[in-house]
């Protein structure tokens, strides 16, 4: 399913760049290229729009004001030359923030974040998310009850874009810090990006299950499949680096379970 998007910029060359980059992403479908919010409003009145890539500094109405005015917000990516707007952008639940000048690779990374949010929204609206049992109801593959790692329930709620998403703690593999926000990677589900500091989320997670192993990563110790040199591996496709200052604590954890 294509992601139908608007691009908005009052500078013709910048708008042309957005149009060109959208055309290079197979799952993005351009609804309209708009020179300002007024034109975008007219397009949204008659067209289905899943995502908006918009400049901030524009005449009459700037991008932030326009997005704040929307009752049902699509997925938002701000595109601007002013880094000072980054925090405000995330406060209105922007999925990403592209700082001009940006490359096609930068745009592709933002487009992938848009796709993750789009897939999450579709899964939620179609009822594909499975109900989460309480800690007392949760069982393992042998039908035995599982402990809740010190939590009353085995789930947390996080803000992702304009939605609140429920995540099973026991499914989380690792958490990565990306500047002002974190990305939570879980088994068999799409990564969730939320405005949060790694330190704050570390304080809220059960310490007997989650460990900081790098300045940018927290891992679920129960999901580790192997350790290869300075990489912590989860299954076949995922791994994170082990930072020097965290090696001692991580080795102490491993020592508890070594067969002697």
pLDDT for position 153: 57
Nearest CA to 193 out of 63, 77, 34 is that of 77
CATH of 155-255, one of 1.10.8.100, 2.40.50.1020, 2.40.70.10, 3.40.630.10: 2.40.50.1020
155-255: same fold as 3-125? no
List of residues 6+ apart from 165 with CB closer than 8 A? 120, 124, 157, 158, 159, 192, 194
Which pLDDT tens digit goes with each residue over 25-56?
999 999 999 999 999 999 999 999 999 999 98
pLDDT for position 260: 63
Nearest CA to 205 out of 234, 169, 240 is that of 169
Judged against a pLDDT cut of 70, whether residue 190 lies above it is answered with yes
Judged against a pLDDT cut of 90, whether residue 134 lies above it is answered with no
pLDDT for position 132: 36
What's the whole-number mean pLDDT along residues 111-126?
A: 79
pLDDT for position 147: 34
pLDDT for position 135: 32
3-state SS class at 138: coil
Whether the pTM exceeds 0.85: the reply is no
Whether the CB-CB separation of 200 and 233 falls below 8 Å is answered with no
Q: Across all residues in the chain, what is the average pLDDT?
A: 81
Judged against a pLDDT cut of 50, whether residue 87 lies above it is answered with no
In whole angstroms, give the CA distance from residue 98 to residue 109. Answer: 10
The architecture in CATH of the region 3-125 reads: 3-Layer(aba) Sandwich (3.40)
List of residues 6+ apart from 118 with CB closer than 8 A? 3, 50, 51, 75
Q: Residue ranges per domain, the chain? A: 3-125, 155-255
Query: Phi and psi of 240, rounded to 5°?
Result: -135, 155
pLDDT for position 136: 34
Q: Please give the structure tokens belonging to residue 39.
A: 């034109």
Q: Please give the structure tokens belonging to residue 19.
A: 């149009």
């Amino acid at each position: 399913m294509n992601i139908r998007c608007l691009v908005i910029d009052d500078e013709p060359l910048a708008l042309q760049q957005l149009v060109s980059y959208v055309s290079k992403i197979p799952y993005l479908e351009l609804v309209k290229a708009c020179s300002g919010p007024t034109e975008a409003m007219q397009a949204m009145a008659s067209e289905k729009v899943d995502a908006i890539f918009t400049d901030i500094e524009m005449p009459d109405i700037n991008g932030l004001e326009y997005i704040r005015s929307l009752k049902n917000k699509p997925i938002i990516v701000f595109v601007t030359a002013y880094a000072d707007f980054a925090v405000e952008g995330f406060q209105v639940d922007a999925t990403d923030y592209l700082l001009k000048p940006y490359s096609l690779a930068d745009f592709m990374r933002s487009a992938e974040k848009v796709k993750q949010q789009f897939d999450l929204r579709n899964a939620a609206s179609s009822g594909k998310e499975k109900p989460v049992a309480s800690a007392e109801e949760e069982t393992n593959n042998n039908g035995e009850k599982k402990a809740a790692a010190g939590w009353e329930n085995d789930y947390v709620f996080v803000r992702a874009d304009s939605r609140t998403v429920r995540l099973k703690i026991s499914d989380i593999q690792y958490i990565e810090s990306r500047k002002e926000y974190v990305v939570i990677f879980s088994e068999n589900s799409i990564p969730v990006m939320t405005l949060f500091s790694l330190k704050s989320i570390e304080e809220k997670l059960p310490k007997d299950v989650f460990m900081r192993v790098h300045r940018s990563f927290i891992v679920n110790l129960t999901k580790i499949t192997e350790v290869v040199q300075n990489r912590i591996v989860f299954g076949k496709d995922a791994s994170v680096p082990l930072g020097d200052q965290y090696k001692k604590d991580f080795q102490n954890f491993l020592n508890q379970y070594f067969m002697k």
